[in-house]
């Protein structure tokens, strides 16, 4: 059997022999979505005010283990505002992985700052604390108490780890590096709702975190995002900035800075409240799906399914197949073959520094990211695939 036929065969062991196309990750609505959304329509509370937004924020805060959460229009906007309230200013640099979805880097630009790409760790697929530390030793220097990149002269303002496909980064080691240099951690937890690192929830591991509730994420509000933090003042700033920076008043329109209209509509929050009620069941189903895939590839030496470390309990948002190094040249053939067979699979993102829009931004050496780029594939990961 050819390599690609063998991989398909093993995937089919998990999925069964379906004729229908199997999507990568489909949204699922098995709870009270109709009831909550209908309630919005019946009461007229569809837009920027309504009780579902408050409830949704409580759900987010509980899931992230934070005291506060602010619901916004999408994850990209959440990350932009998270950066701003963490103190990132115009023309400063933000350290983030080269291996990420483009929104992480774009949000840095939206905040007026410059993305600075760092390598990821071979196993966590997230920012590598050792590579980050070595890179800072090389480029960072304190000038008049300000940490700057000696090559560009720009202030280094924050570190943005991202939990790739819901797999937690090694946050304690990153936090040590961050503390050593006095850099705040802004967590891109867009993919990691429900993931845990040493028992602590992702989304609550840094100064502030951004989450996404886009249609392809583990639970969805249609489109949406949230900012989570323990810090009451940061949460207040986030709410203020995302709601046109209007000073509270019964009737006057006083805005004390250039704010954003980033609030999440009540309709979307209603959908999200119903989705949150299904989060635990979904995590359980996805755990089951991941372990079935892992078993199907256990005896295969061409590829294996990535799993948790003793420190992590990922949400298995997208189950990840890692090709053996020698199979890198087969990646595109495999992707063609699987997608042609109706099994939707995707490679990991094109690395940020290879995109012309981000190619001129500063970066560290990226050997691990560049090797992994050719080896990682996502398998169909919808929770309902484990229920059949």
- Please report, as residue ranges, which positions from 257 to 316 form the binding site for ligand PLP (by CB under 6 A): none
| Nearest distance in Å: CB 287, ligand PLP | 20
Task: Specify the residue, 14 or 120, whose C-beta has the smaller distance to ligand PLP.
Answer: 120
Phi, psi of 144 (to 5 degrees): 50, 40
Answer for which of 51, 123, 214, 339 binds ligand PLP (CB under 6 A) is: 214
Selected from 120, 162, 323, 344, the binder of ligand PLP by CB under 6 A is 162
Find the binder of ligand PLP among 37, 57, 72, 76 (CB under 6 A): 76
Could you tell me how many residues of this chain bind ligand PLP (CB under 6 A)? 15
Q: Encoding tokens for residue 156?
A: 């280094």
Verify binding: residue 187, ligand PLP, rule CB under 6 A.
no
Give whichever of 214 and 244 is closer to ligand PLP, judged by the CB atom.
214
User: Judged by CB under 6 A, does residue 321 bind ligand PLP?
Assistant: no
Triad 380, 386, 388: Cα angle to 5°:
110
Q: How far is the CB of 165 from ligand PLP (least distance, A)?
A: 9
Return all residues near 184 (Cβ < 8 A) that are at least 6 apart. Answer: 86, 87, 157, 158, 159, 178, 206, 207, 208
Residue 28 falls in which region: left (phi positive, over 0), alpha (psi -120 to 50) or beta: beta
Coil vs helix vs strand at 382: coil
104 lies in the binding site for ligand PLP (CB under 6 A) = yes
Footprint (CB under 6 A) of ligand PLP, residues 215-234: 225
Q: Which is nearer to ligand PLP, 55 or 80 (CB)?
A: 80
Q: Please, what is the minimum distance in Å from the beta carbon of residue 135 to ligand PLP?
A: 21
Instruction: Specify the 3-state DSSP secondary structure of 376.
Output: strand
Residue nearest to ligand PLP (CB): 75
**Phi/psi at 308 (5° precision):** -75, 160
Tell me the per-residue interface mask from 31 to 70 with ligand PLP, x by CB under 6 A, - otherwise: ----------------------------------------
CB 104, min distance to ligand PLP, A? 5
Pick from 15, 60, 64, 74 the residue near ligand PLP by CB under 6 A: 74
Where in 138-157 is the site for ligand PLP (CB under 6 A)?
none
Residue 100 as a binder of ligand PLP (CB under 6 A): the answer is yes
Which CB, 101 or 337, lies closer to ligand PLP?
101
- HSE, CB side, 13 Å, CA atoms: give it for residue 113: 30
Distance CA 319, CA 305 (A): 7
Cα–Cα dist 356/105, whole Å: 13
The residues near 90 (Cβ < 8 Å, ≥ 6 apart) are 112, 113
Q: Give the Cα separation of 212 and 71 in Å (integer).
A: 10
Q: Give strand pairing partners of 312.
A: 197
Give residues with Cβ within 8 angstroms of 49, minimum separation 6: 266
Segment interacting with ligand PLP (CB under 6 A) among 8-16, 96-104, 278-286, 364-372:
96-104
Beta bridge partners of 297: none
Binding region for ligand PLP (CB under 6 A)? 74-76, 79, 100-101, 103-104, 162, 188, 190-191, 212, 214, 225
């Amino acid at each position: 059997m050819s390599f690609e036929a063998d991989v398909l065969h093993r995937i089919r062991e998990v999925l069964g022999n379906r004729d229908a196309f199997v999507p990568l990750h489909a949204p699922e609505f098995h709870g009270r979505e109709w009831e909550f959304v209908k309630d919005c329509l019946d009461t007229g509370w569809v837009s920027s005010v309504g009780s579902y937004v408050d409830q949704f924020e409580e759900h987010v805060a509980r899931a992230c283990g934070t005291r506060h959460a602010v619901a916004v229009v999408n994850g990209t906007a959440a990350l932009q505002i998270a950066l701003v309230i963490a103190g990132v200013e115009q023309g400063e640099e933000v350290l983030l992985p080269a291996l990420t979805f483009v929104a992480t880097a774009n949000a840095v630009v939206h905040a007026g700052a410059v993305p600075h790409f760092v390598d990821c760790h071979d196993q966590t697929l997230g920012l590598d604390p050792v590579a980050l530390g070595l890179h800072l030793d090389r480029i960072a220097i304190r000038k008049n108490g300000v940490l700057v990149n000696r090559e560009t002269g720009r202030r280094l303002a924050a570190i943005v780890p991202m939990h790739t496909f819901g797999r937690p980064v090694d946050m304690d080691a990153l936090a040590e590096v961050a503390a050593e240099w006095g850099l705040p951690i802004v967590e891109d937890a867009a993919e990691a709702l429900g993931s845990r690192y040493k028992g602590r929830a992702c989304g609550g591991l840094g100064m502030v975190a951004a989450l996404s509730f886009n249609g392809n994420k583990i639970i969805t509000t249609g489109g949406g995002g949230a900012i989570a933090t323990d810090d009451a003042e940061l949460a207040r700033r986030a709410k203020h900035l995302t709601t046109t920076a209007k000073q509270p008043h019964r009737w006057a329109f006083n805005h004390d800075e250039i704010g954003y209209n980033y609030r999440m509509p009540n309709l979307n929050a209603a959908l999200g409240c119903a989705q949150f009620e299904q989060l635990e069941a979904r995590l359980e189903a996805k755990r089951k799906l991941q372990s079935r895939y892992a078993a199907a590839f256990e005896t295969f030496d061409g590829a294996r399914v990535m799993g948790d470390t003793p420190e992590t309990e990922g949400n298995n948002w997208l189950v990840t197949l890692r090709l053996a190094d020698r199979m890198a040249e087969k990646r595109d053939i495999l992707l063609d073959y699987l997608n042609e067979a109706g099994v939707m699979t995707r490679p990991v993102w094109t690395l940020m520094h290879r995109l012309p829009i981000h190619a001129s931004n500063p970066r560290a050496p990226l050997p691990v990211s560049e090797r992994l780029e050719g080896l990682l594939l996502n398998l169909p990961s919808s929770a309902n695939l484990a229920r059949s």
